[in-house]
Structure 1
Amino acid sequence: MSGIQRILVQLSPEDDNASLMARTGRLAQLSGASVELFCSVYSRELHRDYLFDKKAELHAEHGYVKGVEAKLEALSAPLEAQQIKVGLDVYWERHLVEGVMRKIQRFEPDLVIASMTHHNIVTELFSPDAERTLIRECPAPLLLARKQGWPDQVGLAASIDPFHPCPEPVALDNAVLDMAQQMALILGSQMRVVHSFHALPHSAIFDEHVVTDYEALQSKVLQEHRERIDTVLEPYGLGIGSPEVSILEGEAHKVLPDYAQRVPVSLLVVGHVAKGMLERILSGSTVERMLGSLPCDLLVVKPPGFVCPTDYEE
């Protein structure tokens, strides 16, 4: 059995969840995991209609939740037919992302799966801010799934960076590679590894002595990246010379979508590093910046020991 034993699936009762459920069933059956289908719901219209009758409002809320539970039961039937253990849960929560994060903290899943539209929104219930909150704060590996389904042979790649701006970049790369290796084993896929680096542009160098030896400087930078990559990959039986390993020059949020399209990749596993508020406002994380152009699903992994910065149980 794999290390994935509890899968939490965030669903929208208004969405067509067919491709999301197909992924869930495939992963659960192959890994032996149980599945929890979950919705965080709220109706402003219902609240307005019963503004002055609290008892009637509570009764209406109960009916609304029961209706969503019935939809989840219908979605669970194909999974149960595959002998997959399925649970259902619905939260009535005004702030939807808080409901999702509270469920994650309580359920402690090994994997969270949520839909992602081409507009970068996790289901129609979510705003872009909610999607970013999930990416930044979800402590479990987070699989953001696009509308298109997986092919029979899932192309899988791990994006690593030994120069992550975090205290232990190698530990984060190990977490990414371990997760990618686990998913490859579950899905019967070959794990590819990709690393992108952004070389210093010629125009940004102001030391005339360095400028005269620009090519040597670039060669030195590339060599340092290659050596670091070799060190990280050695425990996995891979290295720079392996056909599964690619080094790309350019900014990650620009070159990784092209790589995923070219290979092709159906699932890209990446590490996420927390940034300060000002840096997030100015640029966002690499993960967030490439969502709009990435043609495949994204599996976001946090560093070992990551703790959600917000306590949603308060």
Structure 2
Amino acid sequence: MSIYNNILVVANIDTEQQPALARAMQIGKKSKSPSKITFFLVIYDFSYEMTSMLSPDERNAMRAGVIHQREQWMKEIAKPYRDDQHVELDIKVVWHNRPYEAIISEVFAKDYELVVKTTRQHDLIESVLFTPTDWHLLRKCPCPVLLVKNHDWPENGHVVVSVHVGSEVEAHLELNHRMVEQGMDITSRLGATLHLVNSYPMTPPNITVELPEFDPTIYTDSVRGHHLTSMKALRQQYAIPEEQTIVEQGLPQDVIPKAVKELKAGLVVVGTSGRTGLSAVFLGNTAENIIDEINCDVLALKPSGYISPLDPNQS
């Protein structure tokens, strides 16, 4: 299966170092068919909008001048990547005051298969009050999002897929298969090793108080057995060796970073529900909960049938 041949790379305006572009080129070069990468930048300067002394035409001309300057800058940045005939590299700069809306609008317009963006550490206040562009993309972008840390993907390295094998929900089970299949595609391109990681919940501490006859050991053993059986069924379907699977008790935001550190993984594949509003703030998504805890890239996938709130085809 050949995927990710039409990739949108979000440029980082603050530096000449562009790990997202380097990562996209790494993926594109490994494709079995020619790939297209669009190096995309969203810019906005509020001062241009507030210059009352200028006419609308003059403001448009000033914006066009800034866009042209940034296009020239991006061409210089992209020069080292233009020598690969297997990858077509385009550049696009747009003026928009909400970067995530411009990115998602571009995804819908050009049917991109993957968005690649450099990420950084986010503090709690920033995440809750200001909602970084990264979080908006994880929740609302219709295609997979790859958030890149500033490090190399080692050849013959390790890729972790965070599966949810204990669920009976059809959407979760379908998403497990999508994550494994895309993880296998990436590992085949990079010569990496795929690992499936699953966490299962701890016994609720208050249940022994409410139900004195409850035996937490039997309950824990039963839950673990169910997850191990489900993991076995999943790995056997894809001929993944048992030693490349991990089933541990705990929360995903604890189990996944631990596995990443032990394996020195270069990439984690996770599912994201696309929650928005207060539910996203208080409940969070696995991707959001782990991304600041790990020093590797995160590929976030949505369930099939996901409809973005920014979909122009929706009323």
TM-score between the two structures when normalised by the length of structure 1: 0.89
When structure 1 is superposed on structure 2, of 8-17 and 55-64 the one drifting more is: 8-17
Tell me, which stretches of 5 or more residues in structure 2 are unaligned?
125-129
Residues 49-101 of structure 1 deviation map (CA, whole Å, 9 limit, x = unaligned): 45543222111100011111112212332222122211111111122211111
Q: In 2, distance between residues paired with 1:174 and 1:71?
A: 41
1:74 paired residue among 64, 73, 76:
76
Cα deviation, residue 204, structure 1? 3.5
Q: What's the counterpart of residue 144 of structure 2?
A: 141
- CA-CA distance at 1:225 after TM superposition: 0.9
SS at match of 2:13: coil
Deviation, 1:131, is 1.8
Corresponding residue for 1:41? 43
What one-letter code is carried by the residue in structure 1 that aligns with 2:296? C
Q: How many equivalent pairs are there?
A: 305
| Distance (Å, rounded) in 2 between the aligned partners of 1:202 and 1:49 | 61
Looking at structure 2, the residues matched to 3 and 13 of structure 1 have their Cα atoms a distance apart, in angstroms, of 28
Q: How does 1:23-102 map to 2 (within 5 A)?
A: 23-31=23-31, 32-49=34-51, 52-83=54-85, 84-102=87-105
Instruction: Say if 2:212 is the partner of 1:208.
Output: yes
1:234-245 to 2 correspondences below 5 Å: 234-238=236-240, 242-245=242-245
In the alignment, what sits opposite 1:114? 117
CA deviation after TM superposition for structure 1 residue 46, in Å = 2.6
Residues of 2 paired with 1:50 and 1:13: CA distance? 27
- Tell me if structure 2 keeps the 8 A contact 1:158–1:191: yes
Query: Secondary structure of 2:21's partner?
Result: helix
Contact 2:201 2:250 in 1 (8 A): yes
Residues 203 and 219 of structure 2 are in contact (CA less than 8 Å); yes or no, is this contact kept in structure 1?
A: no
The 8 Å contact of residues 98 and 312 in structure 1, kept in 2 or not, is answered as no
Q: How does 1:146-295 map to 2 (within 5 A)?
A: 146-164=149-167, 167-205=170-208, 206-210=210-214, 213-238=215-240, 242-275=242-275, 277-295=277-295
| One-letter code aligned to 2:66 | Y
Deviation at 1:156, TM superposition (A): 0.8
CA distance in 1, matches of 2:136, 2:97: 16
CA distance in 2: counterparts of 1:285 and 1:164, whole angstroms: 16
Asked whether the equivalents of residues 2 and 186 of structure 1 are also in contact (C-alpha less than 8 Å), the reply is no
Mapped to 1, the partners of 2:150 and 2:18 lie a distance apart of 9
Given the superposition, is the C-alpha separation of residues 238 and 43 from structure 1 closer, same or farther in structure 2, using an over 3 Å criterion?
A: same
What runs of 5+ residues in structure 1 fail to find an aligned partner? Answer: 122-126
Residue-by-residue CA offset, 1:1-59 (whole Å, 9 max, x unaligned)? 72221111011222333332221221111114211111111111232345543222111
Deviation at 1:166, TM superposition (A): 5.0
Q: TM-score, normalised by structure 2?
A: 0.89
**Would you say the 8 A contact 1:8–1:37 is kept in 2?**
yes
CA–CA distance in 1 between the matches of 2:50 and 2:298? Answer: 38
